[in-house]
Structure 1
Amino acid sequence: MCADTPDYKDSLNLPKTDFPMRAGLPQREPAWLARWEEMGIYDRLREKPGRTPFILHDGPPYANGHLHIGHALNKTIKDMIVRSHQMMGFDARYVPGWDCHGLPIEWKIEEQYRAKGLNKDEVDIVAFRQECRAFAANWVNVQRDEFKRLGVTGNWEDPYLTMDFHAEAVIADEFMKFLMNGTLYQGSKPVMWSPVEKTALAEAEVEYHDHTSHTIWVRFQPVSGLEGAVVIWTTTPWTIPQNRAVAFNPAISYGLYEIVATEEKSTAMVGEKVILAQALAEGVFAAAKVTEFRLLRDVATSEFDGTQLAHPFRGIEGGAGEWDYDVPMLPGDHVTDDAGTGFVHTAPSHGDDDYQLGLKFGLPMTYNVTEDSSYRADLPIFGANARAGEEKPVLYVIDPNGKDGGANVEVLRKLAHVGALLAKGKIKHSYPHSWRSKAPVIYRNTPQWFVAIDRAMDDGMATYGDTIRKRALESIERLVHFTPATGKNRLFTMIQNRPDWVLSRQRAWGVPLTCFVKTGAKPTDADFLLKSEVVNARVKAAFDAEGADVWYSQGFKEKVLEGVVAPQDYTQVFDVLDVWFDSGSTHAFVLRDRADGTPDQIADVYMEGTDQHRGWFHSSLLQGSATIGRAPYKNVVTHGFTLDEKGMKMSKSLGNTIVPQAVIDQYGADILRLWVAQADYTSDQRIGPEILKGTADSYRRLRNTLRYILGALDGYTANEAVAPAEMPELERWVLHRLAELDVQVRAGYAAFDFQSVFQTVFNFATVDLSAYYFDIRKDALYCDGSTLARRAARTVMHLLFERLTTWLAPVLVFTMEEVWLERFPESSIHLQDFPQTPGDWLDETLAAKWATIRQVRRTVTGALEIERQAKTIGASLEAAPEVFVTPDVAQLLQGLDFADICITSDVVVKTDPAPEGAFRIADVADTAVVFAMATGEKCQRCWKILPDVGTHSHAGTCARCDAALTEKGL
């Protein structure tokens, strides 16, 4: 610029804001948290009158350890649901909760005891429970601070804990409803059992890992009738002493085979005859090292009817007659010819199929395996009494350290000794393990307490059926909406096929099964269980006052039974409830009993990971079906698991875990929240350094858009506002887009679809606004005086500010607060609702017109870019292109300053045929551009090249800039 050329830079209305480009979230977010706490934001929202309650009921995390990335995902989704519904006009309440009882905590205390050389069983049970309670309380406080750091809003000062006295009282009371409605019973059946933890496990407490098992092929010799031995195959040799039958399937083809030749080390004998499924014979003989065999004849399954076999240990030396019984052959549909031999060894005490077959045919149950998976001491051959003097007298299936305990090998050895072992091997397969101890589990027959889910209840709540199963299935079909929809079939199938609910656990830390049984009575006797409303009320009152520990206090039984029955006639039950019953009961003590709950005990949303179809969703459904007659929820929302960037499951051993606090320390909680919003949480999500970098980049782009809006609104007041009807078309198009987005955002939030909400708003902000509208209007914003175009643009900026900040507030809780405080420092974005957007902003005709204009502009921009690359021009304002369009399009452009829209100094619109060589874009029909340089001088203020520059009172300006300078008094 020459020395005598005026410098008009200071006269421009350049954006002005203190909002920093660099967010500094890790350092600044804690201050906003402190501000919200001081303001009491959550409580102030509850004071808003006339709102419909909306309750997301928190599935309680376990109070045990620091948060992992799955916790962060889960709680952030919940927070987005709560915040968005609050801003859509609901009274959106969120009471965080914790699951405090159960084996994981008890196991931690036991580990501490073992490290000190102490025996848990020698400690007073109440003292032990108090240690568990203190352990849980400590982790509740740790996790609460970690959840709050994520920006999660809620009633943190008054959460619910399943170990609170009132919670324990209600859990016991809910259990006693099953006692009174007749669905509770004591049964003896095989359940998943952890030998290491010495307790029954629910399916939700089991995970599957690869495990190497012994496999054996065993001969069962016929007592009479059949020509050959029946061969079974099993991966659990330790169950052979408990065998009570051999099952076959009438639909399978069987054959009688003769062994002709064998390898030297084979345990098969030349000339012996065996019966096998024909589809499996070749594989069996290969395992038995049989080199030649022949099929003698087909064996009809009618030959098995009434056939008795000898137990392999029949007549064994030292057996004391323990196995000198006949083993029946029984038909069973569960037998297949996919693997094995076509015959299934049946031990009713150690498998569900076996148990069901035993029920059908009246097979006896056995009790040979104790709680630590050792054989009972007086079991011949295998019990500790029989093995006295051995190096290892006690045989375990799984030893106390979770390893193979020798029972399999010893049974295998004895089978070989008596000549029953045809073949042996090992197999690596998926096998159930306790997800706490990581040790293998077994099926074990034990007396447990069950809820009969198919037993009719006469409780006056039969709208959806008279059994728990019927009510649960009807709820799924008729009352509950699932997100994603696949969750419906998943839960339905689980409920449809599940057995009775095992409630009891043989542990110390939990709510006891508050019931009494008549001493000496059988579980099938009518008076076996004490049913007394008076006793139940006393128990509940005692728990409310002193907590569940009172159950274990001296004289408690006598106190609650006094005057009702003779205490000496009844035995107190000391098993504790499955923790899934605790969390399944939360709808009673949280939703029903709290002022911020709902008396009908039905939440608007339950939201957890997909594993909770067999966990909390499941137990809550069963519990609610029994006690309130239906599911305690209207919506079930599920998220997937979190994987690393390669799609692998996270594990400490692989070193691919992502710790939420580490992400917060590097990027801030808002970046973690944005990762959640950008992911399709209904499937498994991936996270890692590169993904987080991409998330941070999206955040920066959005932050720049918001910073631009703040800068453009510097000094804006309501006095500048322009009514929509008076705005230029471009501003009315923006209002149309806002009206469209308002519908989409609200629908997305209502459907819990945060990915679509964020993508919709983000694309609008970065494409429609930053790359289009702002690009066009920056000239008017910077250079105009108080023109209609500038005032309308600033009005639109204000309307954009209101909507973008509130629409994004449920996701970016910290950043939107920061943006809001730039304009309204005494308020909070989180006290606002989504603004009501007038329906008459929608203008489809205008939208269609501007869609066409935008395509024409795209063609112009494409033509200018070629000239820019050729260095013909440096900036688009140096151009004044000729644009060839159809008459219809030319009419659309009439009345518009199309040069402003194209960011050129001039545009000539023509309807003549475009000359040869004119620039075109393939997907924009009937539009062509011929480049031309702008003529005139460059305005020293706005840099447009115009013929009138230099003819006004302010040197080197165009008419527009001259007027603006005059208006400013310059």
Structure 2
Amino acid sequence: MCAETTPRPDYKSTLNLPKTEFPMRAGLPRREPEWLARWAQIGVYDRLRQKKGREPFTLHDGPPYANGHLHIGHALNKTIKDMIVRSHQMMGFDARYIPGWDCHGLPIEWKIEEQYRKKGRDKDQVPINEFRGECRAFAAEWVDVQREEFKRLGITGNWDDPYLTMDFHAERVIAEEFMKFLMNGTLYQGSKPVMWSPVEQTALAEAEVEYHDKESFTVWVKFRVVTPGDLEGAQVVIWTTTPWTMPSNKAVVYGDDISYGLYEVTATPEECWASVGDRYLLADNLAADVLGRARLEDGMWTRVRDVPASELAGLELAHPLKGADGSDGEWDDNRDFRAADFVNDDEGTGFVHCAPSHGMEEFELYRDLGMLEQVITYNVNPDGRFRDDLPFFGGTAILKPNGKEGNANKVIIDKLAEVGGLLARGKIKHSYPHSWRSKAPVIYRNTPQWFAAIDKPVGDGQDQHGKTIRERALTEIDNVNWVPKSGRNRLHSMMEVRPDWVLSRQRAWGVPLTCFTKKGALPTDEDFLLRNPQVNRRITSAFEGEGADAWYEDGAKKRFLEGIVNPEDYDQVTDILDVWFDSGSTHAFTLRDRPDGTEDGIADVYMEGTDQHRGWFHSSLLQSVGTTGRAPYRNVVTHGMTLDEKGFKQSKSLGNITPPKDVINQYGADILRLWVAQTDYTADQRIGPEILKGVADSYRRLRNTMRYMLGALNDFSESDRVEPADMPELERWVLHRLTELDDVVRDGYAKFDFQGVFQAVFTFATLDLSAFYFDIRKDALYCDGDTLRRRSARTVLDILFHRLTTWLAPVLVFTMEEVWLERFPGEDSSVHLVDIPQTPDAWRDPDLAAKWAKVRAARRVVTAALEVQRVEKVIGASLEAAPIVYVEDADQRAALESVSFEDVSITSDITVTGDPAPDDAFRMAETPGVAVVFAKAAGAKCERCWKVLPDVGTHAHPGICKRCDEAVGDAA
């Protein structure tokens, strides 16, 4: 018979193994909507507003257009804003966020017109308020769509009461803010070249224009000298990339400091527009190039003599179309010829043709000379066609209605060739302004428009920030904190040189320019504009109750003027305001007028893309300094543009777009938010499938860290808590690290540096915690009984939990809520209702940190030495080892001897010595003075903690070590 054997005990049930239902797999796309619904149910945003005694902090939302689904740029923008708001709330502020939408303007009007065209309807035949009503309904529909898409990203805010530029109160305030320009004397009507979209038939602001490469016709045109003298009959040659402006030419200008010469043709090839004996006036630096363009090779021309600028002065020129049959005298007047400071000899011919109706520099030159009446033309209609009665070119189009090249350039070039006015022609590819809505090229066109004068004294000119809008703006720019700092220089340089603000648009959907002009008066007359406070109050009162549609109702003029002035004496302006004036005024009706606004009407933060230096940041500053003298913001934060993984601009045609919805459906919104936190948003960012995979991996590692803590904190209670002074050194080192991290997190969030915050926290979680502290304390947490060491570790884990969840909550809004609720379930519980806990400065211990830096350095050498043995299959785990560690530095050696270095190194035993290390000892170049010789641990493997120790099997419970024997006994 066999002897009866006693079965070996199973010690697994005696271990303190982690217990948590927190899943390894997040399932974010499925679960995130549940948290959104929960936040709405418990009213998180409103409950935060009820916290009393907090300093207000307001981020004013730059309004997106309500006209389409969100793109990745929207997701980036709103997520950064959300991180700013949430982080400041959790740092103790009353952080308010009122989302808003830009509801007026051409983007929406254009969509309604597209619908009309499909139905064969004519917009001009529809009553204006019926059309405006369709625009309003279209915008309202997209506000609702975008609101839900923004909320799905986890964006917190007052979603139930956003601001809309089409709300009646908003329209009233926009009109009211416009009237301040009317009343302070900066509003005027002028006729000057503005960027004009023939496709959309309206003026455009610089912010509504983007630049794309365009192939243009280019011509070298001859203007004959008609002044008697030695140069009579010589030809001044100009170069232009806009042949369509030639019918509007009124002058040619030259540079005072440019070297000019007279060049004569001595021979010609077969096909050439030059003739032997022709004489050309050209800049010397450009003559060879110009003559080469005319197919004149070296030897076919000669330089006759110098022509100083003093000789050019006083010459008159003939337009190349002068005297052409059928011209009806249109171009018979001689052209002005004078010096101008914008002429150079970098390209072209050294001479510039001037059509002041289509070029700002030329316009300003002749305006300053008092000669505008002699040089302004009105040859181009709003649709980009030449006026019908213009000889040769009447009715020809610069651009077709679809934005493509019209026939005007070709017809003009052909006519110039026919009359002998061309020297050469060609094509050039260059950067050219396009409307960012229709994507069609724009032109400069002289039209009557309404402007805000930025160099005219505002009111009485008495303001501490400056007399004029420009002076005030430049002063206020330096009173703002710019993130990044380059934003200051960008806006400052723009503001230094910008022209007057074009306020008017020739469209229907927007807030009208609520002003009246006196019939028969000139724009320069003092009484041209009606400036009457009583009239203004009538208008704003009507707008408050009925919206801006009141301006377009039948009898509106009589309604607003009767009883104050004679309505028949005035004309009502029908243009609408530039939508940048709308959005530039949002601070007035959002910050100033709302209970959840700000006391002084100034936002703590404006945050938008870098393109808004010429957009919303720009118009908001102009509008605010024009009416209040101050900037509407204290901080301006700027993000770059979003590119694909290869650094290319995202576009549907390239198939490289990353729609936020696709990312959310595949990974969840938290992965998209984590991508934002990981990137340097101040520069252009990249996104794509491979980048998102990397983000998802970082998320997985963080999630595992949080899962580990949750498991180890199972059943933790206040009775387990240990005071820091009673903790082992390793725990006190972790607390010290928390004081350092708390500084980094708070400073980073205050400076809007989310990348810096996340990198610091992620590095701490993965290297300091997972790869070091957790790795070491796993043994004590699992295998110790009710020891001070284990209770200290769990206390530190609880402290870590509260900081990591709140530090990361502004970024991973859904995941940190899930983590929080796993420990603190409850109907009203939410991580977003708590603040980042204060970290006592008493935990700071730099001497201890310096000591543990030495310990960690030595540990890295031991770990690397054991990895060699593991790879060579000498050992399976580090607990099978008992290495000898040779340490030259006495302080480092003392540090290792004062701690349980075998526990720190996760070995069963370890020997630290100051003896000289053998030559074959393991070393690491980055840690000089430390060497390791491998040795196996003596004894047997403990069946409970797996350490290899000599005392295993000598205690009451078989097969385990003394520590485990005591722990099992305690558990029993």
Tell me, yes or no, whether TM beats 0.5: yes
Q: Distance in 2 between matches of 1:195 and 1:724?
A: 74
Further displaced range: 263-272 or 79-88: 263-272
Contact 2:739 2:840 in 1 (8 A): yes
* Cα distance between partner residues in 1 of 2:919 and 2:264: 92
Q: Which residue of 2 aligns with 1:138?
A: 141
Residue equivalent to 2:876: 874
Q: SS where residue 345 of structure 1 aligns?
A: strand
Distance 1:943 1:380 in 2: 101
The one-letter amino acid of 2:294's match is: A
Equivalent residue of 1:55, what SS? strand
- Partner of 1:512, secondary structure, is coil
| Distance (Å, rounded) in 1 between the aligned partners of 2:759 and 2:734 | 18
Partner of 1:14: 17
Q: 1:942 aligns with which of 945, 948, 956?
A: 945
Secondary structure class of the residue paired with 1:262: coil
Equivalent in the alignment of 2:457: 456
Match in the other structure for 1:349: 357
Structure 1 residue aligned with 2:311, among 292, 303, 309? Answer: 303
Measure, in 1, the Cα distance between the counterparts of 2:863 and 2:116.
Answer: 75
Of 108, 114, 117, 1:114 maps to 117
1:285-304: CA deviations, max 9, x gaps?
12212231110111111111
Q: Distance in 1 between matches of 2:349 and 2:218?
A: 12
Contact 1:166 1:544 in 2 (8 A): yes
User: Deviation of residue 417 (structure 1)?
Assistant: 2.3
Cα offsets for 1:82-134 (capped at 9, x unmatched): 00000000000000000000001111111111111111001100000000000
Provide TM-score, normalisation by structure 2: 0.97
Looking at structure 2, the residues matched to 459 and 853 of structure 1 have their Cα atoms a distance apart, in angstroms, of 72
Report if aligned partners of 2:897, 2:912 keep a CA contact under 8 Å in 1.
no
**Structure 1: how far apart are the matches of 2:459 and 2:347?**
46
Matches within 5 A, 1:330-409: 330-361=338-369, 362-363=371-372, 364=374, 365-383=376-394, 394-409=395-410
30-39 or 212-221, which deviates more: 212-221
1:43-54 mapped onto 2 (5 Å cutoff): 43-54=46-57
Counterpart residue type for residue 537 of structure 1: R
Within a 5 Å distance, the mapping from 1:417-428 to structure 2 comes to 417-428=418-429
Q: Offset of 1:375 from its aligned partner?
A: 1.4
Q: Deviations over 1:624-683 (max 9, x none)?
A: 111111110000100000000000001110000000000000000000000000000000
Aligned with residue 168 of structure 2, among 165, 169, 174: 165
Shift of residue 460 of structure 1?
7.7
- Name 1:30's counterpart in structure 2: 33
Which of 180, 185, 189 is 2:183 aligned to?
180
In structure 2, which of residues 816, 839, 842 is the aligned counterpart of residue 840 of structure 1?
A: 842
- Residue 634 of structure 1 corresponds to 634
Report the equivalent of 2:651.
651
Q: Tell me the residue number matched to 2:617.
A: 617
Give the superposition deviation at 1:461: 6.3
Aligned residue among 268, 281, 286 for 1:275: 281
Partner in structure 2 of residue 660 of structure 1: 660
Contact 1:461 1:629 in 2 (8 A): no
Asked if 1 retains the 8 angstrom alpha-carbon contact of 2:722 and 2:792, the reply is: yes
State the SS of the aligned residue for 1:221: strand
Secondary structure, counterpart of 1:964 in structure 2: helix
Deviations 1:494-553 (A, max 9, x none): 000100000000000000000000011100000000000001111111000000011000
Pairing 1:451-600 to 2, within 5 Å after superposition: 451-458=452-459, 462-477=463-478, 479-600=479-600
**SS across alignment from 1:943:** coil
The farther-off stretch of 899-908 and 735-744 is 899-908
Q: Report the Cα offset of residue 215 of structure 1.
A: 1.2
Q: Separation in 1 of the partners of 2:252 and 2:200?
A: 32
1:196-235 map, 5 Å: 196-224=199-227, 225=229, 226-227=231-232, 228-235=234-241
Does the CA contact (< 8 Å) of 1:256 and 1:299 recur in 2? yes
Mapped contact 2:902–2:909 kept (Cα < 8 A) = yes
Question: Which secondary structure state, in structure 2, belongs to the residue aligned with residue 903 of structure 1?
Answer: coil
Deviation, 1:382, is 2.4
- Counterpart secondary structure, 1:928: strand
Deviation at 1:380, TM superposition (A): 2.8
Q: Secondary structure at the match of 1:231?
A: strand
> Within 1, Cα distance between the matches of 2:747 and 2:260?
61
- What value does the CA root-mean-square deviation take over the aligned residues? 1.1
Is it true that 1:194 corresponds to 2:197 in the alignment? yes
1:391 aligns with none
Equivalents in 1 of 2:927, 2:401: separation in Å?
75
Does the aligned pair in 2 maintain the 1:169–1:543 contact within 8 Å? yes
Q: Which 4+ residue blocks in structure 1 deviate beyond 3 angstroms?
A: 458-461
The alpha-carbon distance between structure 1 residues 331 and 3, as it changes in their structure 2 partners (threshold 3 A), is farther
Which residue number corresponds to residue 388 of structure 1? none
CA contact (8 A) 2:185 2:459 kept: no
1:553-581 alpha-carbon deviations (Å, 9 max, x no partner)? 01111111112110000000000000000
Amino acid at match of 1:366: T
Equivalent pairs counted in the alignment come to 957
Residue pairs, 1:519-918, within 5 angstroms: 519-826=519-826, 827-885=829-887, 886-918=889-921
Query: In the TM superposition, what is the alpha-carbon distance from 1:599 to its structure 2 partner?
Result: 3.0
Q: CA deviation at 1:883?
A: 1.6
Aligned-residue offset at 1:459: 5.6
| More divergent stretch after superposition (483-492 vs 956-965) | 956-965
- Tell me if the contact between 1:208 and 1:433 (Cα under 8 Å) persists in the aligned partners: yes
What amino acid sits opposite 1:883 in the alignment?
A: V
Change (3 A) 1:461 1:714: farther
1:153 to 151, 156, 170: 156
The CA distance in 2 between the partners of 1:943 and 1:376, in whole Å, is 95
| SS class of match (1:350) | coil
The answer to whether the aligner puts 1:250 opposite 2:256 as a matched pair is: yes
CA offsets per residue over residues 846-892 of structure 1, 9 Å max, x none?
00000001111111112211221222211111111122224322322
Aligned partner of 1:123 in structure 2 is 126
Distance in 2 of aligned mates of 1:318 and 1:564: 54
Per-residue deviation at 1:4? Answer: 3.0
Equivalent residue for 1:386? Answer: none
Contact 2:255 2:341 in 1 (8 A): yes
Counterpart in the other structure of 2:72: 69
User: What's the secondary structure of 2:401's corresponding residue?
Assistant: coil
Shift of 1:926: 2.1
Q: Matched residues in 1 for 2:883 and 2:426: separation?
A: 84
Counterpart residue type for residue 816 of structure 2: M
Judge conservation of contact 2:169–2:544 (CA < 8 Å) in 1. yes
> Which segment drifts farther, 612-621 or 851-860?
851-860
Q: Is the 8 A contact 1:322 1:380 kept in 2?
A: yes
TM-score, with length taken from structure 1: 0.98
Which residues of structure 1 form unaligned runs of 5+? 384-393
